Structure 1
Amino acid sequence: MASCFGHFLTMHREMKFFDDIIHRLLLRELHHNGPTDGMHFMLGNQSVRFLKVEFCLIIGLRFGVVPDTTKYAAVENSIHERYFSGADEVSLEEIRGVVTGTEFRKANDAVKLCLLYMLNRILMGVDKRFKIPVWQFQLVEELDAFDAFPWGAHVYRHSIYSFKHALNG
């Protein structure tokens, strides 16, 4: 699994993020009186929108009502306990260190840690110093529940917030 993760890290480094395109798009944001959970832009003489529908078509993740994440309970003998001693804060960099340099104690531990890493680093686009919320550790313990979670809605909400606050200094 570590070699698979190593291949993923190599691919991730080779991916290009076109921040100048995103920046130029954000400079063309139209402020409107419509729904606040989306964005509108002026491109040339056309007004274009970026709402849940467009995001859903692009990303292909499950949408739905995001449950109250404070209700997730701690799990006995979880990956959070086994590899991070149940620490309140675990960074993506720490997860990477465990995945690339640890013998796993249970069969699916590497899969669970890779899911958390890819969710936050790739889909959410957060910095490697980002601290993984404890509820994500609790949710990933049950892979069916993790898969059923409406990640599309969660990532969309995070993306819109990030885009709307990207130009605030």
Structure 2
Amino acid sequence: MIQPIRVHGMLIYNLLKRQLICPEEEKDDEMWFGLGEKKARFGREEFCLCSGLNMGTLPEGFQEKEEVSEESILTRYFVDENPSIELLEATFNRLTEPSEGDDALKMGYLLMVSQFFGMDEARTAIPSWVLSLVEDIDAFESFPWGSYIFNVTLCCLKNAAEKHIEKLRGNGKKKEENEGPKNKKRKKKEEENKEEKKKNPKKKK
């Protein structure tokens, strides 16, 4: 069984809470965080150092769907044109013959890549362009997976940060709405007390 990559959600959450806005330094393909008194950047260079993946230029139109040949693993092993990770893993585990070596390698690559770019749910379908690409092992190995996975990762982090900000704004608005009537009632009471004191001033001794 392929062991899934564990994502430490709490670590990422606490990091996102320390996001900085650095207009003089920040680019579209990076994020900045405040760690103590230091500013830390997460960009292509940092991702390359952590992952060791190919950060080359993504080929134009790489996600376009291609025709599947009769010799492809998709045609020979699967009925569905978009098999799930669960089905792919089950098929991979049944490959035991030496003649199935190339097919096992292709399926192994698919399982490995699926772990990297967030397809961690067993029933998630594998994109058709990935299934087409793996038929050419050399092309699959030379593909700039680092650039692709970095783009996906950065997009997920930015979306999560935006959702967190919207949630904070929503909670603040809700708190303001909830406290509004109480504040009005308190102010009204204070005004009534002031009027009462004006009407009935205390006599000086």
TM tier relative to shorter chain: 0.7 to 0.9
Q: Aligned equivalents of 1:31 and 1:81: distance in 2?
A: 49
**Does 2:133 match 1:139?**
yes
Aligned to 1:42: 34
* 1:25-64 matched pairs, under 5 angstroms: 25-33=15-23, 34-64=26-56
Q: Aligned equivalents of 2:95 and 2:105: distance in 1?
A: 13
**Does 2:143 match 1:155?**
no
Aligned to 2:119: 126
Higher relative CO (Cα under 8 Å, sequence separation at least 6) belongs to 1
Structure with higher Rg: it is 2
Q: Aligned equivalents of 1:60 and 1:44: distance in 2?
A: 27
Q: Which amino acid aligns with 1:59?
A: S
**How far is 1:102 from its partner?**
5.1
**8 Å contact kept, 1:75–1:138:** no
Relative to structure 1, is the Cα distance of residues 31 and 89 closer, same or farther in structure 2, using a 3 angstrom cutoff? farther
**8 Å contact kept, 1:28–1:42:** yes
**8 Å contact kept, 1:75–1:141:** no
Aligned to 1:77: 71
**How far is 1:65 from its partner?**
1.3
Aligned to 1:3: none
Q: Which runs of 4+ in 1 moved over 3 A?
A: 101-106
Q: Aligned equivalents of 2:105 and 2:95: distance in 1?
A: 13
TM-score norm. by structure 1 comes to 0.82
TM-score norm. by structure 2 comes to 0.69
**How far is 1:38 from its partner?**
1.2
Q: Aligned equivalents of 1:136 and 1:153: distance in 2?
A: 15
Aligned to 2:57: 65
